[in-house]
């Protein structure tokens, strides 16, 4: 029990429990104060107990971040990059596959590009805990044991991730961690894992949990924090997988370093635009140490075209989602690797100075703020340590010219001009003065730009304000009417 929750009330309860109840009644049985003892004391007691109950109830409905997390032991300041087994393999995993994946991460230069985690998803364990109550790795799939595997992963210079669930079972009905949080966190740490993805299936009955999703994740967050304090090791990175339920983006930062914002991704354009649309409304929630998780990448999978895969990757990266590769690496094409390792996009994703996401400044096809799963917002911008980032997304099924005025973005200064760097063609595209047009953006394609301040714009441009609203000369002449 954490300080600040029920336990703190124990000292208040104890005196009443020990003395207050029995002592005055017995002592006063034959005294003049008998009446007072019978009527007033119980009433007072009832009020006090009522108050305590209220406080207790009040307190348990609060969810606090683990108190053992301090500025010194925080992990995953930047969104995690790595591999996750689910999209490519589902339950069809074993130690050879994980090891081969880890080796490919190195030989395909993915590790050099920043992909440092190899994360095992659902289906790695036996269906039942062992006699001691511990989760055990599947003896056929992982005959060498998890510790041997994580040692090998670490020897490659990579980190290792594991998976569990905040309910009775995982989504594929392997053991979950509910009521075993401390035991399982320790197991995962002893196995050598650095990271835990924590799912949201097999929810126990309400009369057992007396909790909501937040409370079930708080249990594991506390276990991880306590274990870190006890072991002196960094806490497991907690990747919360509650699919956007209960608006995780409003509270999950207390407990973990990322939280899923949406349902499971599929390898098609409809799924990409749907996730993008939903996430466009809470980009503000992402910053250092806590990230909206838009789900495992589908780059290299299904019917996604080259342009669509680029758009998908660009959006996930610039919105600072964890980037977890989810494709079959032995057969990954050059195009797939090229997309996944674009150094200029990754530099923004891993910016150590600016942790925030890009956000829409104009929706485009739709009026601003319209939610549309087929046509999400098209014009986005955000800060980076090296300049202002722009993402233009053509959600149409045909090529389109995409035009914007620079000052539509809040990160652009009026009266300045900007050099334009294209983060996909890796070329300088001249100097933008007031406006920019990307010509013939392919269907479902993306343009990603980095604009850097290049000094004052040329003298004498007309009108005197790029943003005309209430534009006025010093002598009071208005220019917007």
DSSP string, 100-112: HHHHHHHHTTHHH
Sheet holding 359-362, edge to edge: 359-362, 379-384, 387-393, 446-456, 416-422, 427-432
CA distance 111 to 114: 5
Q: Which of 264, 266, 287, 422 is catalytic?
A: 264
Out of 69, 102, 241, 317, the only residue in the binding site for ligand GAL (CB under 6 A) is: 241
Whether residue 266 lies in the annotated active site: no
Tell me, by CB under 6 A, how many residues bind ligand GAL.
11
Nearer to ligand GAL, 122 or 181 (CB): 122
Shortest Cβ distance from residue 173 to ligand GAL (Å)?
9
Active site residue 132: no
| 252 is a site residue for ligand GAL (CB under 6 A) | no
Our finding on whether 121 is near ligand GAL (CB under 6 A) is yes
Strand ranges, E, within 169-328: 195-199, 237-240, 258-260, 291-293, 323-325
Residues 152-211 that bind ligand GAL (CB under 6 A): 170-172, 199, 201
Cα 68 from Cα 221, distance rounded (Å)? 10
| Among candidate residues 164, 155, 110, the one with its CA nearest the CA of residue 135 | 164
Interface mask (CB under 6 A) for ligand GAL, residues 279-298, using x and -?
--------------------
What's the closest the beta carbon of residue 444 comes to ligand GAL, in angstroms?
Answer: 24
Nearer to ligand GAL, 202 or 347 (CB): 202
Question: Measured at CB, which residue is nearest to ligand GAL?
Answer: 171
List 199, 226, 293, 351, catalytic entry = 199
Indicate whether 266 belongs to the interface with ligand GAL (CB under 6 A).
Answer: no
Q: Is 325 in the site for ligand GAL (CB under 6 A)?
A: no
Of 27-86, which residues contact ligand GAL (CB under 6 A)? 86
Comparison of 66 and 82: residue with beta carbon closer to ligand GAL: 82
State in angstroms the smallest separation of the CB of 110 from ligand GAL. 20
**Taking the complex as a whole, how short is the minimal distance between the CB of residue 162 and ligand GAL, in angstroms?**
12
**DSSP readout, 4-43?**
TSGGGGHHHHHHIIIIITHHHHHHTTTSTTHHHHHHHHHH
> Is 452:419 a contact under the CB 8 Å cutoff?
yes
Listed residue (248, 151, 242, 153) closest to 199, CA to CA: 242
CB 66 within 8 A of CB 2: yes
Is-contact 83 104, C-beta < 8 A? no
**CB of 154 closer than 8 Å to CB of 191:** no
Task: Give the residue with the Cβ less far from ligand GAL, 77 or 127.
Answer: 127
**Smallest distance, ligand GAL to C-beta of residue 121, A:** 5
d(CA 282, CA 320): 12
Cite the active site residues: 199, 264
Binding residues for ligand GAL, rule: CB under 6 A, are: 86, 121-122, 170-172, 199, 201, 241, 243, 264
């Amino acid at each position: 029990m954490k300080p600040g929750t029920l336990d703190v009330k124990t000292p208040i309860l104890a005196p009443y429990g020990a003395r207050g109840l029995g002592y005055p009644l017995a002592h006063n049985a034959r005294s003049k104060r008998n009446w007072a003892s019978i009527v007033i004391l119980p009433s007072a007691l009832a009020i006090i107990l009522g108050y305590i109950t209220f406080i207790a109830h009040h307190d348990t409905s609060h969810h606090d971040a683990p108190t053992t997390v301090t500025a010194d032991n925080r992990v995953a300041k930047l969104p995690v990059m790595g591999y996750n087994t689910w999209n490519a393999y589902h339950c069809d995993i074993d130690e050879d596959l994980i090891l081969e994946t880890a080796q490919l991460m190195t030989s395909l230069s993915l590790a050099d590009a920043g992909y440092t985690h190899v994360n095992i998803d659902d289906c790695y364990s036996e269906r039942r805990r062992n006699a001691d109550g511990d989760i055990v790795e599947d003896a056929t799939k992982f005959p060498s044991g998890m510790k041997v595997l994580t040692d090998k992963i670490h020897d490659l210079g990579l980190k290792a991730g594991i998976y569990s669930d905040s309910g009775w079972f995982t989504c594929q009905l392997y053991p979950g961690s509910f009521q075993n949080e401390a035991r399982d966190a320790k197991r995962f740490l002893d196995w050598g894992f650095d990271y835990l993805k924590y799912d949201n299936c097999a929810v126990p009955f309400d009369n057992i949990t007396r909790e909501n999703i937040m409370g079930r994740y708080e249990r594991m967050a506390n276990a991880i924090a306590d274990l870190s304090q006890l072991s002196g090791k960094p806490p497991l990175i907690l990747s919360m997988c509650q699919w956007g339920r209960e608006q995780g983006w409003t509270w999950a930062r207390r407990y973990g370093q990322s939280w899923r914002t949406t349902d499971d991704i599929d390898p098609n354009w409809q799924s990409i635009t749907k996730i993008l649309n939903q996430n466009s409304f809470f980009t503000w929630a992402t910053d250092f140490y806590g990230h909206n998780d838009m789900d495992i990448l589908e780059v290299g999978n299904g019917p996604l075209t080259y342009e669509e895969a680029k758009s998908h990757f660009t959006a996930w990266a610039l919105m600072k989602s964890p980037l977890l590769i989810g494709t079959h690496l032995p057969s990954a094409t050059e195009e797939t690797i090229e997309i996944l390792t674009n150094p200029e996009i990754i530099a923004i994703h891993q910016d150590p100075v600016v942790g925030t996401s890009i956000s829409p400044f104009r929706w485009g096809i739709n009026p601003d703020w319209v939610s549309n799963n087929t046509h999400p917002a098209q014009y986005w911008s955000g800060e980076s340590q090296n300049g202002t980032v722009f993402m233009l997304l053509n959600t149409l099924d045909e090529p389109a010219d995409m035009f914007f005025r620079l000052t539509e973005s809040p990160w652009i200064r009026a009266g300045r001009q900007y050099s334009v760097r294209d983060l996909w063609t890796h070329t300088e595209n001249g100097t933008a003065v007031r406006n920019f047009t990307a010509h013939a953006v392919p269907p479902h394609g993306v343009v990603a730009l980095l604009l850097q301040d290049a000094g004052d714009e040329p003298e004498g441009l007309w009108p005197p304000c790029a943003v005309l609203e209430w534009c006025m000369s010093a002598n009071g002449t208005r220019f917007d009417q």
